[in-house]
Chains A and B, each alone.
Chain A
Amino acid sequence: MYQYDQYDQAMVDARVAEFRDQVRRRLDGSLPEEEFRHLRLKNGLYLQLHAYMLRVAIPYGTLNSKQMHMLAHIARKYDKGYGHFTTRQNIQYNWIKLEDAPDILAELATVEMHAIQTSGNCIRNISSDQFAGAAADEIADPRPWAELLRQWSTFHPEFQLLPRKFKIAVIASPSDRAAMRLHDIGIELVKNDAGVLGAKFFAGGGMGRTPMIAPMIREWVPAEELISYAEACLRVYNRHGRRDNKYKARIKILVHEIGADEYRRQVEEEFAHMKTLGLDPPAAELERISAFFRDPPFEQGLSDDIDRSDPDFAVWVDQNTHPHRVPGYTSLTISLKPAGGIPGDATAEQIDLMAELARDYAFDELRVTHAQNIVLAHVRKADLYAIWQKLDDAGLATANLDLIGDMIACPGLDYCSLANARSIPVAQKISERFADTGRQRELGELKLKISGCINACGHHHAGHIGILGVDKKGLENYQLLLGGSGAEDVSLARIVGPGFDEDGIVNAVETVTNVYLGAREPGERFVDTYRRIGMQPFKEALYG
Chain B
Amino acid sequence: MKILTGNDLKTGDVIWWAGDTRWSRHLADSVDAGDEAEAILKREEAARRVNVPYVVDGKQTDQGPMPLHIKERIRAFGPTVRTDLAINTSIPIVKV
User: Which of A's residues lie within 8 Å of B, judged by CB?
Assistant: 26-27, 29, 33, 47, 49-52, 80, 95-99, 342, 413-415, 417, 419, 422, 424-425, 428, 474-476
A98 touches B81 (CB 8 A): no
**Which of B27-35, B36-44, B58-66, B68-76 contacts the other chain?**
B68-76
A415 to B79, CA, bound (A): 7
Decide yes or no: A49 and B71 within 8 Å by CB, A99-B10, A422-B80 being known contacts: yes
A414 touches B11 (CB 8 A): no
Which residue, of B68, B69, B78, B80, has the highest number of chain A Cβ atoms within 10 A?
B80
Out of A51, A417, A474, which one reaches B13, CB within 8 Å?
A51
- Provide a sorted-by-A list of 11 A–B residue pairs whose CB atoms are within 8 angstroms: A47-B7, A49-B75, A50-B12, A51-B7, A51-B13, A52-B12, A80-B85, A95-B12, A414-B80, A422-B81, A474-B69
B70 touches A97 (CB 8 A): no
Q: A50-B78, A417-B71, A425-B80 are in contact. List 4 more A-B contacts (CB 8 A).
A: A47-B12, A49-B14, A49-B71, A51-B7
Query: Interface size on B (CB < 8 Å)?
Result: 22
A47 to B81, CA, bound (A): 20
A493 to B3, CA, bound (A): 40
Output the nearest chain B residue to A474 by Cβ-Cβ distance: B69
Please give the distance in Å from A119's CB to the nearest CB on chain B: 16
- Majority SS at the chain B contact face: loop
A425 to B83, CA, bound (A): 12
Give the residues in chain A near B68, CB-CB below 8 Å. Answer: 474
B85 touches A33 (CB 8 A): no
User: Which of B's residues lie within 8 Å of A, judged by CB?
Assistant: 7, 9-14, 48, 51-52, 68-71, 74-75, 78-82, 85
Decide yes or no: A98 and B70 within 8 Å by CB, A33-B51, A425-B81 being known contacts: no
A99 to B13, CA, bound (A): 12
A51 touches B12 (CB 8 A): yes
B71 touches A424 (CB 8 A): no
B85 touches A413 (CB 8 A): no
Give the residues in chain B near A425, CB-CB below 8 Å. Answer: 80-81
Decide yes or no: A96 and B81 within 8 Å by CB, A33-B51, A49-B75 being known contacts: no
Out of A26, A50, A80, A475, which one reaches B9, CB within 8 Å?
A26
B12 touches A413 (CB 8 A): no
Out of B12, B75, B81, which one reaches A424, CB within 8 Å?
B81
Please give the distance in Å from B67's CB to the nearest CB on chain A: 11
Please give the distance in Å from A370's CB to the nearest CB on chain B: 22
Out of B48, B70, B79, B81, which one reaches A474, CB within 8 Å?
B70
Out of B12, B13, B81, B85, which one reaches A428, CB within 8 Å?
B81
Out of B12, B78, B82, which one reaches A97, CB within 8 Å?
B12
Give the residues in chain A near B48, CB-CB below 8 Å. Answer: 29
A97 touches B79 (CB 8 A): no
A425 to B85, CA, bound (A): 16
B14 touches A50 (CB 8 A): yes
